[in-house]
Every structure is written in structure tokens, then in C-alpha cells.
Amino acid sequence: MTTTKPSASTQRKRITDMRRVEESLVMLAPRWSAWTLLTLKETGPQRPIDIRKALPMPSAPVLSARLSSLTDAGLVDRRAVNGRLVTYGLSVRGRQVIPALDALAGWAQRHPLDGDEAPVAYAERIEEALLQLGGRHTAAVLWTLRERGQARVGDLHQAIAPQLSLPTMSLKLTTIAADGLIERMADDQRAPYRLSAIAADLAEPFALLSAWAAGRTPKGNVTHPVWNPAPAKTQPTQRSNGGNRATRPATVRATAAAPVPAAHNRAVPPALACQAKTAPWGAQLFSHAGPQQPAATAAGGRAR
């Protein structure tokens, strides 16, 4: 993908934008955070004991920690009735992040973690996406490759985390590549990296997260200068008709997405195609989740 070098002001805005999205992913990544938000979306304000009953496995201390962190982040409101009965419910910001979570669920459904195409619960799908994307510097790597098209290890190191050692950054890139998000452009350890087709499909989730992290309410098809540019208008054309010139109305042309290798375009079985933007409730939200792992605090990334 050929890009024009942005101005210093534009680059600063993009760096701020990238960091906001990365911080949002890290904040949402800990186990049970997304599940708790989806539960409160459907049930309304609930006591902690009732929230815990709606979730598969978290212990009372783990759920308490999640509610506390989500409250501190402004996603959940804590209310005490008569100083005794405490309930938790989604805040305005908590409700506004749901479209981004829905988009992450759709992305995870189209690109199952480790290629496992067995049916997975809706909330679990979101946590799988956050598991892949919530690691430190992961979003920054994807963002930089989306902008540049390709980059070598040294260039990514200097652009994203020069405070790290080069071997540490190289190991980080190897981990992201193992998750299927980036790939070498050739079978050579010195070859530059590029986005995989899986990561190139993150346009909608990242555009929605960007809008939400900036304090806007994501609605409809959100454009984004890096991930989902606005369609470009063609210049009006003029033609001669017996000396009278008529102006043809401008037409809208869709901006092409970053090119991805054809070998990585994977067909999605119809049974797993994302059918709705709104998370289903009840059994569909938590069913088909498979064996649950013991609840643990996660800072993002694949390890839990």
C-alpha cells in the first residue's frame, strides 16, 4: 500500500489515537470484563451476587476486582441504596463501548483463535479477540504496519518502543506473528513484516474503538484515517453538447483497503458467519464456551 507521509501535526494526532485504542484494549482485556459488561447490558443494575450467578465461573474476589476496575474506568456505575444495598450498572460510557465489543465478536468469529472453528459463546468470542489484541504494543505494531504497508524489525522498534532492547521487540513481533496477525513478506528472517489478512479485517473494530476512546458515540459506519478512510469524491467532469457544457455530478469512489495476500483469504463456514451486531442473551451468550479455565487476572496478551 502506497501512502503519503503525513504532516507532523497529523502524525501526532495519529499517535495519540493509536495510544488511546491500545489503552482501551488493555483496559478491556482482563478476564470477565467483557462478560460483565454484556451481562449488565442485558439485565440492568444488579447486585454482585446476582452478577456472579449470571457468569460461568469467577470467584467472588475476582468479580469484585473486575467490578472495581470497571467502575474506576468509568464503564460501570456503583450505587448504594440506603447505604446498604449495592448495585452495579452500565454507565453511559459503558453502553457506548458495546458496538465496539460487538465488532470484536464478529472479527473473532470470522478468524477463530488458533483456527478452532467450533461454536463459541458470544461473550467468549469477545474475550478471545481481546486476548489477541490486548497485549502491550500489539495494537501499535498493527497500526504502524497499516500505515506503512510493511516495515522491518528495526524500523518497528524505533517507531513503537525504542526504550526496549531490539531482541525484546523482535520477540514481541514473533509472538504477534504466531497469533496470525502479522507475517514476513518472504521466507527470510531479515524480511520486513506486513499485516496478515486477519489483521487487515480489523478496520471496523479499530474505527469504533478509536471513536469511543476519543469520547465520541460510535454510530453506523465509522470512518477512520488509517483503518477505514472516508470515500473520496471524484472531480466533476465536463462534456461538450453543442457548445453547451453540462457538469456531471461528482460520484463517490470507495477507498481500497490495504492489499493482503490471496493465500491468506480464508472462507468462513456459513454456520459461523456473524449474523447480528447485537449480542444475544441467555443461553446463546454463554453457551458453547467449552471447558472454562479458572478465573485469573490478565494484563492482556495470550497468557491468562
pLDDT digits (tens, 9 = 90+) for 228-272: 888 866 555 555 444 444 433 333 233 333 333 333 333 332 222
Q: Give dist(CA 89, CA 112) in Å, integer.
A: 30
Query: Side-chain half-sphere of 107: how many Cα atoms within 13 Å?
Result: 27
Closest CA to 39 of 76, 81, 79, 93: 76
pTM of the model: 0.74
**Whether pLDDT at 291 is above 80:** no
**Whether pLDDT at 48 is above 80:** yes
**Whether pLDDT at 158 is above 90:** yes
pLDDT of residue 200: 96
**Residue 242 CB coordination number (10 Å):** 5
Helix axis angle, 60-72 to 33-43, nearest 10°: 80
Cβ atoms of 304 and 131 closer than 8 Å: yes
Q: Give dist(CA 106, CA 99) in Å, integer.
A: 11
Residue with cell 524500523: 155
Q: Give dist(CA 83, CA 281) in Å, integer.
A: 31
Cβ atoms of 179 and 173 closer than 8 Å: no
Q: Give dist(CA 167, CA 175) in Å, integer.
A: 12
pLDDT of residue 92: 95
**Whether pLDDT at 203 is above 60:** yes
Enclosing H/E stretch for 105: helix 98-110
Residue with cell 464478529: 106
Mention every residue, 6+ apart, whose C-beta is less than 8 A from residue 150: 185, 192, 193, 194
Cβ atoms of 122 and 276 closer than 8 Å: no
Report the mean per-residue pLDDT for the chain: 78
Closest CA to 199 of 173, 163, 166: 173
Give the pairing of strands 232-233 and 76-81.
unpaired
Q: Give dist(CA 167, CA 217) in Å, integer.
A: 40
Closest CA to 146 of 34, 32, 265, 259: 259
Share of the chain above pLDDT 70, in %: 72
Q: Give dist(CA 223, CA 250) in Å, integer.
A: 20
Cβ atoms of 94 and 75 closer than 8 Å: yes
